[in-house]
């Protein structure tokens, strides 16, 4: 009699466990289905956003350079042109005041698709730059950008390299095509171009991941950037080019 009771109890326990297992499997299937649906939706969102971003990077965008917690150089890309607009001192002063207040929306404005602010650390891959057939260290370029008179500083160094007399030096300064503010933008662009040459335009995303670039634009791409393969990001920025062909004098 006792053996029958034990068998009945074991059968009931087995049925109970089987019922629980079925519920667990059912719940797991439901959760798996939900996760797959979320991944599919997320994939469509990221693909759609990547297409928008790829197109937007060819539109008008603002690129700024920050040093010492101040905006010291910048440029705005012009649609259908590789030649950017270099920001003057008045524009930089305006953007710097916005930057101090962390008003990134105001910096981006209504005319720009996206805003980038680069720190010096963004250009760690750069060691030297060639400017007008002369090689300059990155540190010297940074010192030019930080200088109150970068044109004067640059021409003085150029004069020593080429053994120019004072009159020749003054002629170069008077014929220089950029103001001090614009020349800083020219140098910032040179750093950007060199990094793009060394790493590819995807360096923007890599430095953003490191916290060296501030980006202002509501975008799933930048929200989930740590989970997005580099190859996918590279495809987005493959056509992003900024260059200045104009000579300095």
Q: What is the pLDDT of residue 42?
A: 59
Tell me whether residue 247 is in a domain: no
Based on the fold, state whether residues 164 and 44 are members of the same structural domain: no
- Tell me, yes or no, whether 48 lies in a domain: yes
Boundary of a domain, candidates 56, 73, 90: 56
81 and 51, same structural domain? no
Q: Say whether both 189 and 108 belong to one domain.
A: yes
168-185: average pLDDT: 91
pTM equals 0.76
pLDDT for the residue 214: 92
pLDDT tens column, 4-21? 677 667 666 767 777 787
In a domain? residue 216 = yes
Residue 158 lies in a domain: yes
Highest mean pLDDT among 77-86, 110-119, 198-207: 110-119
Q: What is the pLDDT of residue 198?
A: 86
pLDDT of residue 199: 81
The more confidently predicted of residues 31 and 56 is: 31
Structural domain contains residue 249: no
Residue whose tokens read 């790493």: 199
- pLDDT confidence band for 182 (50 / 70 / 90): very high
- Is the distance from CB of 71 to CB of 150 less than 8 angstroms? no
Token reading at 103: 């008003």
Domain-ending residue, one of 41, 56, 71? 56
CA distance linking residue 9 with residue 7, whole number of Å: 5
185 and 205, same domain (yes or no) = yes
Number of domains in the chain: 2
Tell me the mean pLDDT in the region 121-149: 93
Same domain, 157 and 183: yes
Q: What would the pLDDT profile of 145-162 be if each residue is shown by its tens digit? A: 999 999 999 999 998 888
So what's the pLDDT on residue 242? 54
33 with 69, same domain? no
Q: Which residue range is the domain that position 16 belongs to?
A: 1-56
Are the C-beta atoms of 113 and 217 separated by less than 8 Å? yes
H-helix or E-strand spanning residue 115: strand 115-118
**Would 201 be classed as within a structural domain?**
yes
Residues 120 and 227 in one domain: yes
User: Do 131 and 187 fall within a single domain?
Assistant: yes
Reported as type and span, the H/E element at residue 98 is: helix 89-100
Residue 162 shares a structural domain with residue 39: no
In a domain, 180, yes or no: yes
Tokens of 98: 């916005």
Banded pLDDT at 249 (limits 50, 70, 90): very low
- For residue range 74-108, list pLDDT tens digits in order: 999 888 777 889 999 999 999 999 999 999 999 99
Q: Same domain for 99 and 162? A: yes
Q: Is the pLDDT of residue 179 over 80?
A: yes
Domain match, 96 and 42 both: no
Domain match, 120 and 8 both: no
Which of 14, 34, 56 is the C-terminal boundary of a domain? 56
Contacts of 228 (CB under 8 A, 6+ apart): 46, 221
Domain membership flag for residue 207: yes
- Of the candidates 78, 60, 96, 75, which has an alpha carbon nearest to the alpha carbon of residue 182? 75
Average pLDDT score, the chain: 82
Residue scoring higher pLDDT (30 or 131) = 131
């Amino acid at each position: 009699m006792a053996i029958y009771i034990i068998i009945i109890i074991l059968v009931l326990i087995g049925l109970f466990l089987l019922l629980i297992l079925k519920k667990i499997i059912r719940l797991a299937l439901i959760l798996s289905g939900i996760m797959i649906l979320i991944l599919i939706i997320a994939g469509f969102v990221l693909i759609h956003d990547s297409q928008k971003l790829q197109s937007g990077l060819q539109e008008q965008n603002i690129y700024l350079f920050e040093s010492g917690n101040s905006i010291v150089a910048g440029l705005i890309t012009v649609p259908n042109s590789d030649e950017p607009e270099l920001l003057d001192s008045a524009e930089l002063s305006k953007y710097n005041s916005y930057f101090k207040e962390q008003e990134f929306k105001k910096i981006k404005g209504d005319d720009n698709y996206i805003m980038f602010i680069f720190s010096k650390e963004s250009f760690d891959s750069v060691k030297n730059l060639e400017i007008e057939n002369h090689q300059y260290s990155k540190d010297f370029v940074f010192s030019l950008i930080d200088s109150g008179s970068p044109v004067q500083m640059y021409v003085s160094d150029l004069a020593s390299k080429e053994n120019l007399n004072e009159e020749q030096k003054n002629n170069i300064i008077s014929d220089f095509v950029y103001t001090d503010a614009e020349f800083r933008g020219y140098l910032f662009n040179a750093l950007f171009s060199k990094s793009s040459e060394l790493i590819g335009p995807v360096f923007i995303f890599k430095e953003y991941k490191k916290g060296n670039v501030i980006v202002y634009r509501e975008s799933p791409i930048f929200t989930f950037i740590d989970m997005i393969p580099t190859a996918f990001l590279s495809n987005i920025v493959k056509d992003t080019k900024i260059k200045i062909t104009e000579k300095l004098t």
